[in-house]
Amino acid sequence: MSWLEKRWYRPDPLIWLLLPLTVLFWLVSACRRLLFRLGIKRSVRVNVPVIVVGNISVGGNGKTPMVIRLCQLLKQQGFHPGVVSRGYGGKAPYYPYSVAVNSDPRVVGDEPVMMRHHLGCPLVVDPDRVRGARYLIDEHKCNIIVCDDGLQHYRLARDIEILVMDGQRRHGNGYLLPMGPLREGAWRQKTVDFVVVNGGVAKAGEHLMSLESGQLVNVKYPSQTQSISELRKPAIALAGIGNPERFFKLLDSRQVRLKQKLVFADHHPFRDGDIPDDLVLMTEKDAVKCRDFARSQWWYLPVSAKLTEQFKQQLLEKIHGI
């Protein structure tokens, strides 16, 4: 975590030096929202229901596991969902760009590749979510669209908004970027259909989500798995995600002995030489970027989202009421 990010979650008067930049950020985002309210900029509606999954703070909220679990739930209910994602960090040669299991994270982004491993439905990356959604409908006959990280992408009209929040860090110091972690003010939480809290304690009107870890998967040989309890020596833990401490605490809860913790920036483009040739445990999001040069001693720990029955029932009622 950078110097700035640390001060988002603890009192520090130096943060006020960034006030002019935060005011500028507020002005730009407020003007943009106003343009949509006045109809100068228009939201575009596609001809199937759209569910947006996003957040109002940056980094490490649990949004990706939520998208995966949501699509699994929709398929179980007989829907044919499609996912459109911005593809942060990727540089695709054209858009919309369909994501395959073996897609290069440098082209489509790390999170879309990770999601594609778990999704039995089409996924495209496109900075223009409307164009991506239309492609999924026209080319893949999807009858419901899930927009990954699209809460602030107002051009795509939506039927349901799901805000995913870190239940422990929540809104941090409550300030907008760069003074704080917020993309939009905390008021935005009151405008969405569902607030899903990842860990911690859910307040009134919120729904609790937990992340459950599975077996370790070998990065180089994905068909090889082992129980985390089978580790016989201390390992190096590695995380290049929005909230690395969450991964380290998960390992600690599983009583994993660690001799070192390596923290990289979120979406770090790993290269050969970045990671020690040792027993290394990493997140699945990091693992997708290390496949081409992985060592046999590298393992990743997948996690899946567990949702409450109340949330699932209310969500399905909302979908069927569209």
Dihedral in degrees, nearest 10, Cα atoms 95, 101, 103, 105: 100
Nearest partner of 9 among 57, 53, 62, judged by Cα: 57
**Residue 237 CB neighbours (<10 A):** 23
Cα separation, 151 vs 36, whole angstroms: 14
Residues 6+ apart with CB under 8 A from 22: 175, 176, 177, 178, 179, 180
Residue identified by tokens 């999704």 is: 119
Q: Residue 62, annotated ligand binder?
A: yes
* Residues 263, 186 contacting (CB under 8 angstroms): no
The DSSP-derived string for 265-303 is -TT----TTSS-SS-EEEEHHHHTTSGGG--TTEEEE-E
Using CA of residue 189, residue 192, residue 76, residue 123, what is the dihedral sign?
negative
Q: Residue 63, annotated ligand binder?
A: yes
**Residue 205 CB neighbours (<10 A):** 9
Q: Residue 174, annotated ligand binder?
A: no
Q: Residue 61, annotated ligand binder?
A: yes
Q: Residue 59, annotated ligand binder?
A: yes
| β-strand pairing of 50-54 with 144-148 | parallel
The separation between CA 48 and the C-alpha centre of its own chain, rounded to angstroms, equals 23
Residues 6+ apart with CB under 8 A from 295: 219, 220, 275, 277, 280
Q: Residue 191, annotated ligand binder?
A: no
> Which segments are annotated as binding site?
57-64
> Which segments are annotated as binding site for ATP?
57-64
